[in-house]
Structure 1
Amino acid sequence: MRAVHHLAAAAALAVLGLACHREQPDTAAPAPATAPTGPSERFYGALAPYGTWIDDAAYGWVWLPSPAIVGADFFPYMTGGRWLYTDAGWMFDSNYSWGWAPFHYGRWAFDAGVGWMWVPGDVWGPAWVDWRWNDGYVGWAPLPPVVAGAREEPRSHWIVVAASDLTRPQLDGYIQPNARGQAVFAANATHPAAQPGWRSGPPEQFIAAATGHPEPPVHLPPPDTSRLVRSRVAGDTVEHTPVEPAPPPAATMFSHNPPEFPLHKLRPHTTHAEVFDAPPRPAGGSARGRHRGERWL
């Protein structure tokens, strides 16, 4: 039933987009209330050409990258980018022109009937993932969205690679089988403390011991938190450039989006396990427009 809900939402959004494409007089009525609002509205125009926006029953407006662009085996923080060591921890450096948004803002969730969904957020981070490392292996998982009133511990899908492979520009073909990847879930495995904010990941010494050479850190300055930024590596530093909001596209259904779901299938050798998320937000704190525990440390 959930997939049917998504299909109906996508179809409704397509109709909305096509209506917006027609010439409108200055006195045109405002867009229907079903249009994205909140954090989603800030990213809507920039990401629409590269995927599909749908109204999810649990998370609200979410974005799904087109499989024609990222592949049906897409995995966040693995596909289309590399891990970069900085003086503030590990950052995901995306190859996609639109990667500044879904790999540095918001959270990712996987639904078997739909695929990977990006839930927008408005706080920048080097990579919103949880980490484990142990016995020469490193594992990471996208931090899932926090659903108000959830009773279960947050869980997500993990990818594990040998520590010597973490800095490869393409990690396809280096993902460890589940039996070997369980090393990072052993009782003696190292993981970040459950504290607010993004996780810095394994120390440089752990990776250097596996590769045989140190990993010189790239300088990562704090970004401007008052606006969206595009982050890119320039020599030995990361530059943050302000991003101007993109106007809504003429239509929200593009030819490279197939009409059927799911758009992505879960990759082999992924492990479904708990993640260490942030502690609950203090009573009285505002929850609108951001996820629990997301802040610059």
Structure 2
Amino acid sequence: MLASHKKMRRCLLATSCLALLLPATAQAQNEAIPSRVGQLTSLSGNVSYNGAGSGGQWIAATPNYPVTSGDTLFTQAGAEAAIVLNASRLTLGANTELQINALDDTHFAARESQGELFLSLTDMPPGQSVTIDTPRGTVTMTQAGAYDIVAGDAATPTIVSVLAGAASIGALGIPAGQEGVLSGTDQTTAQLEPLQRDALEDYVLAATMPPPPPYAPPVVQQMSGVDELSAYGSWSMSPGYGAVWYPYVPTGWAPFRDGHWAYVAPWGWTWVDFEPWGFAPFHYGRWIDDGGRWGWVPAGAYGPGYAYGPGDQPVYAPAVVGFFGLAAGAAFTASLLASQSVGWVPLAPGEPYYPAYHANPAYLRRINQGDVRHFDPAAHRPPAPGEFVNRRVATYMPASAMAHGSSAASFGRPVTPGQFSQAHQFDNFAPALRPDITHRPAAAPHPSGFATPHGVPPIVPHTAVQPFHPGTLTQPREALPPRPPGANFPRPMPPVYQPHEAPPPRLPAGNFHPPMPAYHPPAPQFHPPMPAYHPPEPQFRPSMPAYHPPAPQPHAAPPHPQPQNGHDRNHP
């Protein structure tokens, strides 16, 4: 019994070890942890980032980095970037600076100081809103739709285009199919004009991605980054877990091994995956080992007939793993930590997630409700390090390498079964594992004086408002000054994704393997039997006698002048 109590105490402390590794300032900020974050994706060219993970410096942006309040992005000449927020997508054209002022469960507010921003807002529930500050006013959008905002400057107008939905800027309402054009410095004038689509709008509208399958629970549609999965894997319906996604990965691949750790406030240590699809499967849901084939279960606790409510929204986690420490001694100390290792293991369905930051019972219930049935923070306990379902792919790396943001593929090692006996808790020492990451510096934006916050002048609506005519959607805007840098988007569409290799061969039949022929049909389906196209020769080459009369015929007598009487030609 005493050994059992010691074992329970060890596993409870081991899974919460990184809570002791966070700087005290971060734990003081954990009173209101955001449930929603954006995913930084589709980076092309030089993109700069300044925010929670950069230490206040402009650094090179990293794909799959979480985006939250206080972050700023800047796309340099010829570059682009996108922020995926739930089912919506915000695309930054070239020479665009976007600072996120607020990102919470119901509101997204940002300032676009320069450049062009396209917003594809999908499935906005009542009460949610998006506001974008421009040098000439604040654009407000409260319904789903497609919007394009050109910030403008002192010499060029601010243009708010509404392809679908409805928006407003100041006192000017902009319906679908029209755009608001605001110009002036000391006094701003505004008018409505027919919608004119530019290169960035055409680019974004053409770059569509298939959504998750219809049998996926509605909560899955709201997970940031989930729309990218269909191009990089296959979905299947499992009777035990519901919707399961299988990535196209090489044999021997395992989750949480191809990426690195970054320190992002207020969550602390956050997994940043290197795969282009590597966001949603590492911050939501759970992973299953299906006979050697890995599948992602986004919401295994939501069974058929589940009654969804307003509270059924996905909650972002910095990494859905269980942490533990490895050392040869009896316990970690601050000095020992620098030379020892931190381990982690992907959580499986039914295993609760316990964050390393402070979280009250209500938050624990929300972040686990989609993956653990009937979760009760007071009753559930984390498993011991050696009892995790996915322990065969547990990974560890030196704490110093983790603090430097080193690649897990280079410094990580698999945990052997014998090493689990060395898993220890972190206790009785001051916070020691602080981030020590050397970032690659990047260029900072150079906004004009007009783009700095200076109090937006009142909008004077133009007296001659042009009506919208569908036939004028593509007419050139000849009366307006040229659009600012970044308004045009010359970069061609990226090629359609082709998996770098075929999916691994299907393992023995199980509950979760989608039939591979659905994706790789057998050759006979495309190459019918050859006889159908090459009939036998007799059908086209009749017998030779039909074209060569018998040999005696050339020596026969001339034909009788009256052969129609039925007499033989050889007998007169």
- Relative contact order: is structure 1 or structure 2 higher (C-alpha 8 Å, sep ≥ 6)? 1
**So what's the TM-score if we normalise by structure 1?**
0.48
Q: Output the TM-score relative to the length of structure 2.
A: 0.27
